[in-house]
Amino acid sequence: MTRPLNIVPAADPLELMPVLREALTAGGAAILPLPGRQEAVPAGEVPRQVGLVVETSGSTDSPKRVMLGTNALLAAAAASSTALGGPGQWLLALPGHYIAGIQVLVRSIAADTTPVVMPPGHFDPTAFIRHADRLTEPMRFTSIVPLQLARLLAAAETDREVLRGLRRFTAILVGGQAIQPELVERADQLDVHVVRTYGSSETSGGCVYDGRPIGNTLVRVIDGQVELSGAVLAEGYLGEPGRTSERFVEEHGVRWYRTGDLGEFDQETGVLRVLGRADNVIISGGEKVSLDAVQRVVRSLHGLGTAVVVAGDDEQWGQVPVVVVPTGTDARITLIRDAVASALGKAARPASVVAVETIPHLPSGKPDLAVLRHIVASTPA
């Protein structure tokens, strides 16, 4: 059986909420939220159990449309509520068409609360706190990306009102990409409760909090790659049965999602450590080099917390790591190369540093790697 799928505008999340609430019931049409204020239009049909289709950013892969069942979305909201100590009110500071933003709406629907919504555009810590002050429930939450957290903590160190507002949150969920341990330490020192989340559109959002699976999520690592299972899993990709069968596999009656991330899972402690993307690896001089691993080392150096490492072409080595930093950053290539070589070996040493006025980011908050690779390719050696 099938149900209709409608493309709906996500420019105003509060207007999207009633449509989403209807999609979570058996009688409503499934929805595909997209940015902007376009009119709602039919977009075909999806399996009956699907309530939501999410279009991914394509930051690490080609964009895809992920089909999520109503049960998966509600299971994710319930697992989050349990992990956080109960339902509450949310401040939405992310786009309403990405899974992290949509889950804020789903959690609000499940908790029967109305979220406070920040307007789109430049992220301003003072405006964030102004909107946070409109929250009225005793338990208060928000979901942000590391770049937003870094700006909030920087402001909190000099502005007592920002610090006061951050401390009033029961929990601040941070995900979407790797977060620097130093950022979490700064938050802890400021008595700001940060919860690191891991997940994706294919898992209805974050399903691992601070390294530990929530709800009935299961974790395993096969050949170094992280796989997830549980009630939160998507049905697959819209119109792409081949890609669906590659990423979603069934063993002994259990469905697993192959994340494409490298990781380590400690069975004794139940803690997952994500090491980076399996496809973000280059061959440099005949050796495999993880650009995510290089980036972690570079970002651990003083003043290089926002650096991004991408692949650059090299006639001798094939491909080499290249460090991209904002203009004005004190990025000494010798120091960087020595630090990376010491941690990861000589083949991982970055070849150069490229300075840009600002690091470009996708609406999801992730660095725009495609733009950065183009900049690196067009920059003379």
Q: Which two tokens stand for residue 150?
A: 């870094």
Provide mean pLDDT across the span 141-145: 96
Look up tokens 């139940």; give the residue: 270
Query: What CATH number has the domain bearing residue 364?
Result: 3.30.300.30
Provide mean pLDDT across the span 124-153: 96
Look up tokens 């390294």; give the residue: 211
Backbone angles phi, psi at 228, to 5 degrees: -125, 150
Q: What is the largest CA-CA distance in the chain?
A: 62
What's the predicted TM-score (pTM) here?
0.85
Please give the full DSSP string across 311-377, using - where no structure is assigned.
Answer: EEEETTTEEEEEEEEETT----HHHHHHHHHHHH-GGG---EEEEESS--B-TTSSB-HHHHHHHHH
Query: What digits encode the pLDDT tens for the residues 211-265?
Result: 999 999 999 999 999 999 999 999 999 999 999 999 999 999 999 999 999 999 9
Query: What digits encode the pLDDT tens for the residues 321-375?
Result: 999 999 988 888 899 999 999 999 988 999 999 999 988 888 767 788 889 999 9
Query: What digits encode the pLDDT tens for the residues 67-114?
Result: 999 999 999 999 999 999 999 999 999 999 999 999 999 999 999 999
171, 206: one domain: yes
75, 95: one domain: yes
Q: At 167, is the secondary structure helix, strand, or coil?
A: helix
13, 90: one domain: yes
188, 300: one domain: no
| Residue 197 confidence (pLDDT) above 60 | yes
266, 291: one domain: no
Cα torsion 277, 280, 283, 287: sign: negative
Q: Which domain holds residue 208?
A: 2-273
Q: Which two tokens stand for residue 376?
A: 């690196």
